[in-house]
Amino acid sequence: MKYPEYKQPLDYAKVGEDVLAWWQENHIFEKSVSSREGQPTFVFYEGPPSANGAPGIHHVMARAVKDIFCRYQTMLGKQVPRKGGWDTHGLPIELQVEKELGITKEDIGHKISIEDYNQRCRETVMRFKAQWDDLTQKMGYWVDLDNPYVTFEPEYIESCWALLKKLYDKGFLYKGYTIQPYSPAAGTGLSSHELNQPGTYRDVKDTTVVAQFKVKPGEVAEKLFAAAGGPNADVFILAWTTTPWTLPANTGLAVGKNIPYQLISTFNPYTFEPIHVVLARALVGRYFSEKGAAAPMEGYAEGDHKLLPWRLEGEFTGADLVGITYERLFDLTPFEGEERAFRVIPADFVTTEDGTGIVHISPTFGADDFRAAQLADIPALMVPDAEGTLGPIVDRTGRYVPQMGEFAGRFVKNYDGQDETAAGYRSLDVDLSIRLKEMSRAFKVEKYEHTYPHCWRTDKPVLYYPLDSWFIKTTAVKDRLIELNKTINWKPESTGTGRFGNWLENLVDWNLSRSRYWGTPLPIWRTQDRTEEICIGSIAELKAEIDKAVVAEVMTHNPYANGEKIDLHRPYVDDIFLVSPSGQPMYREPDLIDVWFDSGAVPYAQWHYPIENADVFAKNFPADFIAEGVDQTRGWFFTLHALAVMLEDSVAFKNVIANGLVLAKDGQKMSKRLGNAVDPFATIKQFGPDATRWYLIANAPPWDNLKFDPAGVVEVQRRFFGTLFNTYSFYALYANLDGFEIDENNRVAHADLSELDRWILSKLQSLIAEVRLQLDSYDPTKAARAIQDFVTDHLSNWYVRLSRRRFWKGELTTDKRGAYETLHECLSTVSQLMAPIAPFFAEWLYRNLSGGQGPESVHLTLLAEADATRLDGALEERMELAQRISSLAHSLRKKSVLKVRQPLQRILVPVLNDTTKAQVGLVEDLICAEINVKHIEFLDDESGVLVKSVKPNFKRLGQQYGPRLKAVGARIQAMTAAEISKLEKEGSLAVEVNGEPITLAPDDVEIRTDDLPGWLVATDGPLTVALDVTLTDALRQEGLARELVNRLQNLRKDSGLEVQDRIRVTLADQEPALAAAVAAFGDYIRTETQALALDFAPEVSGGSVLEFDDFAVPVRLEIATN
């Protein structure tokens, strides 16, 4: 058998393609699951992507993370079923369809039927499925694409219904109304998820008003009027709003109970009427200047109005103000509960950060307002519409209702697309402000820039608006959610404790309702009077109920009776009417449910559980591992957790990686708009899937944001994969020349391997342990970096470099076999360790090395285990010494301008103890070979030439002497040679510091020898090396011999000779030095260059010329035929 050899450079993209094709032909993924049948399961859930957009590079990152741990666990012997899936419902799809059809939500049911609309959604949602599947395969993400769950399929929806019914039966489903973000432009409520789309919160300039609410005289207000000078005074409470259009819906004013407020006498700055106003003490300075306090009150109305005069008249706490009643600002329409309205109430969210420290309350248009009003029994201002149904003063299109007098029909924000820059344009807010000024009820009107949420697709401002909703009572299990969350291993931990933990601490009920068309319908039917209702938990149940309805003649026939494929979507379910126990017809609640319920239901619905497959579910719940973007924390991670706790009283996942964002290389967010998005297909095509994955994983931990720089992928490819490929090529080249093959049953015994072999094998054991540890703890980055360091630094740069001669010299000896076996084992094991991260290249490497032995794929193998018996700490330690000494010697050669090819007699290494001496002694050969010296000479105390210096051990001394450390340190650095020697010999030294006697121990200092008088030395920490640069004739000749070898090797290579070709060399006989070198080192030269003959001739023509430092020599080189 031959090890395949490849041309440099390797085409990594092609490796990916070839391996992919081979996997598919040989069903390796299927085998990786089926071959683990009967083994413990490692449960993984695929967070369903939505296929209505093209995948990006961040998906490669997210999916690489998922893939790594599934492959790793498979290699640990576990069975890892991986069901793919698709998220198919939701607003993005609806909006895309609407955009394509050029319609809005309002057109549905008119211009297009719900049936056709949903059909369009169904077609649209999988539009990019082929691209996704393609990327999934090309990047090597192993997941079952053939049997995915799809959230729009009837079985999936049926499972959701079954789960909803379970929640219903537990009393976790209820209907209420809350103030919710609502987009009049889109005609729909917005989930918090939608509201948190990027770009939703924007800085806008709005007209803001500080309105004056006129206090009515009364018992509570008595103190105010007293301070204002009498019951006839005009006393106003100031309240600020950034949404003036809500002022007509005002029904209360909120104060902070403990906030101090002041009564100020002053003037209305627009009408100059004398008034008294109340606002928080902390904010008086915002509206009134110091100068104004001193300005004359008289004459303001007539005079110039630049300086508003004012006087402080009294101070009160918020508690003093609670209960005060005031006049309604816009008295446009009567409403229910009016007599309880227009009061000052307390609220804990009131601050003195901005405004006036008093908050205008409109319970229909603010969530905080709604809650505070409920607590204080303040009514909401609701008016009847044409059908008599009560609603707020703004209709669902964002327009004032007819009761709003002169403002009736106005849009509260620019929802009708008016040109705001046009000369005549005036917003409702502006017109209201003008009106208030005219009424002398505006204290200050100004533009104010603040952030305000916008509908993420229509770009129009969101309103907070009262909407009916079904809720899941997640707050009922809040404590259990928190408790079980603590058992989940979050990567990074802070996402679990911080972001997710805090979210659970501040949990509100899960708003399930969506007023849409394409999604899972809420399976609840109600009678018109809302007294009877039913929650349907399965198709069978629905059919049975329809049959009852047919009998009761509520329906004419059962549309699902004849066994055709059932579609549970709208509009079909809307046409189903059921009958209540009392015989009344029941209508389906028109809502759809939050798509996040769909995804949270994955653990159950992917198996059509609980309708069937209870055993499959039991085996696959909860998940051992999931991974998604950190933005899913309150999305998928939450819905999974919430449903698992409520339904199963369990976590849904035990380990979770919340990965960060992939940014463009400048740290900007990638976006098509900015043109800095990285195309995953192009990246894989250019660099291959492995380098892409490796870069994504090794460069930054998945939970940190990654700045994607293609230059980084290039570097990974060159440095890591290039080095690994070279190392393999090196092995293949020589193993093939020697006809070497691995024979597992006949290996060189470990004890018989060379020092270097045992060293790299020891390093390999450490690497195996490290990689396993890091992958066990879900840290792929550390694993990748460890592998990378091993391959480049240890295996290639030290082991192979120092072993080269062993591979290409001589016969297949035991030592050479040991080297082959060692290198083979290192490469094979690396192929396993890297397989989860770089699955294609690992496969390529494994299959090149295995020669058909063992499992056909690296992904079917069991990962090597660290063999403690081959770990040798002492060996690793002394090899490090060898590396450092070599490095020092190289640096000395450099300083003395002595090339490595010139042999030198010796290096001198001072050693202060026998251990170091013994350690270095064991690696002397390696050092000598590496730096081309004849031997190492150790200098110990006996030699008498060592000059010692001493360095304080601050860590130890600091603990002992604390504040005196500086003085002690200085004293130590001043130690004489005699003192050092005394400390060494006697084990202690008494000295004085600042007149106080102290005793030093040997551990208090570090003794080193970083100087050898008369020698050029180099030091690295405690290590010191000196180089003997004396050149003898013999050394010079040997140096020249090596130069000659080098020139001949270059010539061989330039002449295109194969490594194994034998040659005949003829040199021109013109340099005595060269002749002498050849005479002395002929055998060496012939061996090295594989020359059968090395002769001199008076004349050499027709050949090349070898250039040496001081001369040039003509040479002829021929291939030897025998």
Partner RNA sequence: GGGCUUGUAGCUCAGGUGGUUAGAGCGCUACACUGAUAAUGUAGAGGUCCCUGGUUCGAGUCCAGGCAGGCCCA
Q: Could you say which residues in the range 412-451 bind RNA, by CB under 7 A?
A: 451
Contacting residue, 709, 815, 979, 1118, with RNA by CB under 7 A: 709
Stretch that binds RNA, among 235-243, 700-708, 989-997, 1024-1032 (CB under 7 A): 700-708
Q: How far is the CB of 501 from RNA (least distance, A)?
A: 8
Q: How far is the CB of 956 from RNA (least distance, A)?
A: 8
Q: How far is the CB of 888 from RNA (least distance, A)?
A: 7
| Residue among 279 and 786 whose Cβ is closer to RNA | 786
Contacting residue, 38, 171, 198, 334, with RNA by CB under 7 A: 198
Stretch that binds RNA, among 235-243, 338-346, 583-591, 1053-1061 (CB under 7 A): 1053-1061
Residues numbered 811 to 870 that lie near RNA (CB under 7 A) are none
Q: Which two tokens stand for residue 757?
A: 């072999």
Q: How far is the CB of 668 from RNA (least distance, A)?
A: 8
Is 669 among the catalytic positions?
yes
Separation of CA 179 from chain center: 33
Element counts in the chain: helices (H) and strands (E): 38, 40
- Does residue 706 interact with RNA by CB under 7 A? yes
Stretch that binds RNA, among 50-58, 225-233, 745-753, 1038-1046 (CB under 7 A): 1038-1046
Residues numbered 752 to 781 that lie near RNA (CB under 7 A) are 781
- Does residue 289 interact with RNA by CB under 7 A? no
Q: How far is the CB of 695 from RNA (least distance, A)?
A: 9
- Does residue 704 interact with RNA by CB under 7 A? yes
Q: Is 672 annotated as a binding residue?
A: yes
Contacting residue, 699, 754, 762, 1024, with RNA by CB under 7 A: 699
The count of residues in the chain is: 1122
Q: Are 608 and 158 in contact (CB under 8 A)?
A: yes
CA separation for the pair 628, 625 (Å, rounded): 10
Is 596 among the catalytic positions?
yes
Is 1020 among the catalytic positions?
no
Q: How far is the CB of 957 from RNA (least distance, A)?
A: 6
| Residue among 157 and 795 whose Cβ is closer to RNA | 795
User: Which is the catalytic residue, given 596, 607, 759, 844?
Assistant: 596
Is 636 among the catalytic positions?
yes
Q: Beta-carbon neighbour count of residue 609 at 10 Å?
A: 21
Contacting residue, 1050, 1087, 1093, 1097, with RNA by CB under 7 A: 1050
Residues numbered 861 to 900 that lie near RNA (CB under 7 A) are 887, 890-891, 894, 897, 899-900
Helix H, strand E, coil C: the string for 641-697 is HHHHHHHHCCCCEEEEEEECCEEECCCCECCCCCCCCCCHHHHHHHHHHHHHHHHHH
| Residue among 314 and 958 whose Cβ is closer to RNA | 958
Is 8 among the catalytic positions?
no
Residues numbered 609 to 648 that lie near RNA (CB under 7 A) are 630-631, 633-635
- Does residue 952 interact with RNA by CB under 7 A? yes
Contacting residue, 328, 499, 870, 948, with RNA by CB under 7 A: 499
Residues numbered 717 to 736 that lie near RNA (CB under 7 A) are 718-719, 722-723, 726-727, 729-730
Which of 416, 434, 82 has its CA nearest to residue 244?
434
Contacting residue, 38, 388, 563, 667, with RNA by CB under 7 A: 667
- Does residue 367 interact with RNA by CB under 7 A? yes
Q: Are 403 and 291 in contact (CB under 8 A)?
A: no
Q: How far is the CB of 1052 from RNA (least distance, A)?
A: 3
Calculate helix-pair angle for 636-648, 154-169, nearest 10 degrees.
Answer: 60
Residue 215 DSSP SS3: strand
- Does residue 804 interact with RNA by CB under 7 A? yes
Residues numbered 1002 to 1021 that lie near RNA (CB under 7 A) are 1018
| Residue among 69 and 637 whose Cβ is closer to RNA | 637
Q: How far is the CB of 1038 from RNA (least distance, A)?
A: 12
| Residue among 190 and 838 whose Cβ is closer to RNA | 190
Burial label for 965, CB within 10 Å (0-12, 13-18, 19+), is middle
- Does residue 498 interact with RNA by CB under 7 A? yes
Q: How far is the CB of 1011 from RNA (least distance, A)?
A: 13
Q: Are 1051 and 1090 in contact (CB under 8 A)?
A: no
User: Which is the catalytic residue, given 87, 369, 591, 598?
Assistant: 87
Residue 835 DSSP SS3: coil
Q: Are 625 and 617 in contact (CB under 8 A)?
A: no
Residues numbered 301 to 320 that lie near RNA (CB under 7 A) are none
Residues numbered 957 to 976 that lie near RNA (CB under 7 A) are 957-959, 962-963, 965-966, 969
| Residue among 551 and 674 whose Cβ is closer to RNA | 674
- Does residue 231 interact with RNA by CB under 7 A? no
**Angstrom distances, CA of residue 108 to CA of 34, 92, 518, 575, 1040:** 48, 16, 11, 16, 91
Q: Beta-carbon neighbour count of residue 748 at 10 Å?
A: 18
Residues 593, 596, 597: CA angle, nearest 5 degrees? 55
**CB hemisphere CA count around 13 (13 angstroms):** 10
| Residue among 230 and 962 whose Cβ is closer to RNA | 962
Which of 200, 39, 3 has its CA nearest to residue 736?
3
CA separation for the pair 136, 133 (Å, rounded): 5
| Residue among 755 and 1010 whose Cβ is closer to RNA | 1010
**Angstrom distances, CA of residue 1020 to CA of 567, 868, 884, 954:** 76, 31, 8, 19
Quickly list DSSP for 345-398: EE-TT--SSSTTSEEEE-TTS-HHHHHHHHHHTPPP--EE-TTS-EE-SB-TTS
Q: How far is the CB of 899 from RNA (least distance, A)?
A: 3
Q: Which two tokens stand for residue 923?
A: 């690696």
- Does residue 1037 interact with RNA by CB under 7 A? no
Stretch that binds RNA, among 110-118, 216-224, 578-586, 789-797 (CB under 7 A): 789-797
Residues numbered 473 to 492 that lie near RNA (CB under 7 A) are 492
Which of 768, 561, 662 has its CA nearest to residue 64?
662
| Residue among 106 and 449 whose Cβ is closer to RNA | 449
Contacting residue, 929, 1059, 1105, 1112, with RNA by CB under 7 A: 1059
How far is it between the farthest Cα atoms of the chain? 132
- Does residue 196 interact with RNA by CB under 7 A? yes
Contacting residue, 6, 22, 201, 587, with RNA by CB under 7 A: 201
Q: How far is the CB of 636 from RNA (least distance, A)?
A: 11
Q: Are 200 and 193 in contact (CB under 8 A)?
A: no
| Residue among 271 and 686 whose Cβ is closer to RNA | 686
Characterize the bridge pairing of strands 201-214 and 235-241. antiparallel
| Residue among 78 and 884 whose Cβ is closer to RNA | 884
Provide CB contacts within 8 A for 1014, sequence distance 6+: none
Please give the radius of gyration of the chain, using alpha carbons only, rounded to the nearest integer: 42
CA separation for the pair 817, 804 (Å, rounded): 13
Separation of CA 264 from chain center: 54
Contacting residue, 122, 669, 750, 847, with RNA by CB under 7 A: 669
Calculate helix-pair angle for 57-75, 129-138, nearest 10 degrees.
Answer: 50
| Residue among 959 and 1101 whose Cβ is closer to RNA | 959
User: Which is the catalytic residue, given 175, 437, 669, 917?
Assistant: 669
Which of 523, 626, 508 has its CA nearest to residue 191?
508
**Angstrom distances, CA of residue 576 to CA of 113, 271, 542, 572, 587:** 17, 63, 9, 7, 7
Q: Which residues are annotated as a binding site for ATP?
A: 672
Q: Which residues are annotated as a binding site?
A: 672
Q: Which residues are catalytic?
A: 48, 87, 596, 632, 636, 669, 672
